Amino acid sequence: MYTTRLLEKTLKEAVQSFPVVFIGGPRRSGKTTLSQTFLKGYRYVLLDEMDVRSLAIEDPRGFLEKYPPPVIIDEIQNAPHLLSHIKARMEVNKKPGQWILTGSQQWALMKGISETLAGRIAILHLYPFSIEEIQKTRRVHLNEAGGFVKSLMQAKKIPDKMIPLGRWILQGGYPEVVLNKKASRKLWFSSYLQTYVDRDVRGLIKQSNLHDFERFVKLLAARTAQELNCSTLSRDIGVSVPTIKSWITLLETSGLIFLLMPYHRNFGKRIIKAPKCYFMDTGLAAYLVGLQDEEHTLQGPMAGALFETACVAQFYKRFTALVDPCSLYYYRSMDGLEVDLLIETGKTIYPIEMKLSSTIDYGRTASLMKWLEISKIKDGRGLIISASRELGSVGKNVANCHYSLI
């Protein structure tokens, strides 16, 4: 059964405005299912098939004649030279919605798209399911960050079909894990990582470094929601700092991780300048660190970091899908003041804290209250996201929101 996606609204707008639309994202995030299901009347061609791929590479003009628009070309990274030929045809006919390109994001592919089709292509990103999509509680009418955060502050009711917290974190959002109740989570993620290494990594790093790369990914998963320290990772893995940085770029381009930058204003305090690193999917992170059941996930030493990862990734997925121009940051000063997430809109900044607790009292609002004080934002309000069912105000200008509502 097809699960509706937040990206549908943006995709509809894109095919009405651009001749070419690219849908990127990590493998198995649902790009093919979305494009085939949502875009009715389009031909579909998969470049994973050897004969089709050979035609696209050896005779791109013949390929485009055989598969005229409107057409979905899946796994475009297998024949990137098609881009220049699509550009030539687009110069003759600029009708919107002709070519839908999908594929796993790779650095070389994205560079080729930017250089060849700049200004003529809509670039969209599809990530594993958000909690809204899993619970079927999409709120596409709240397509502006400020309005969405305000709705969380004013929420009165928890969704009837709320996903249990342990399950949400442990299974993550990859469609095949979420929708197939009989799927072996351990086997699926093991196969997924092997496919990722074989298809996206093996040709980009030295053969002798593959084992170190796999160790690096596991070590990085254990440090999700922490500040990124390339020097420490370099020492622990035994490779150079430039190598670590190149691997970070590879994972980020592939859509497996994202970096949250520190807020740039210091409000008179010295601030931390390193980014924080988050896994896009907590199911993958939990698998990499060896978590097997919901109880251990919620009571183990990584529970807080995984909860923060799940929540921050939810905001990242939502605002990316709806192409919201807001900016996401975190704040940490040298004297210990920390705020997990800052959402900067064109009008204000919303500070947000993630608390893995079923009880939220005034004492847990201290960091938000302090940040609101030093930032001097007029009518500023903060938000706590937690497992507490007590919604609403928990202190002056601070509200609590249940995780299922984000």
Minimum mean pLDDT range among 103-112, 157-166, 296-305, 375-384: 103-112
pLDDT at residue 167 is higher than 90:
yes
pLDDT at residue 189 is higher than 90:
yes
pLDDT at residue 205 is higher than 90:
no
pLDDT band at 23 (very low <50, low <70, confident <90, very high): very high
d(C-alpha 248, C-alpha 240), whole Å: 13
Predicted pLDDT of residue 269: 63
Per domain, the residue ranges of the chain are 7-125, 131-405
pLDDT band at 199 (very low <50, low <70, confident <90, very high): confident
Pairing of strands 338-344, 349-355: antiparallel
pLDDT at residue 335 is higher than 70:
yes
Predicted pLDDT of residue 204: 79
Predicted pLDDT of residue 265: 75
Give per-residue burial for 375-391: e unless 16+ CB within 10 Å, then b. bebeebbbbbbbbbeeb
d(C-alpha 402, C-alpha 234), whole Å: 38
Phi and psi at 39, nearest 5°, equal: -100, 90
Helices 31-38 and 7-15 cross at an angle (nearest 10°) of: 60
63-72 residue pLDDT tens: 999 999 999 9
Predicted pLDDT of residue 268: 58
Query: pTM of the prediction?
Result: 0.94
Instruction: Determine whether domain 7-125 maps to CATH 3.40.50.300.
Output: yes
Predicted pLDDT of residue 336: 82
Task: Identify which has the larger pLDDT, 321 or 103.
Answer: 321
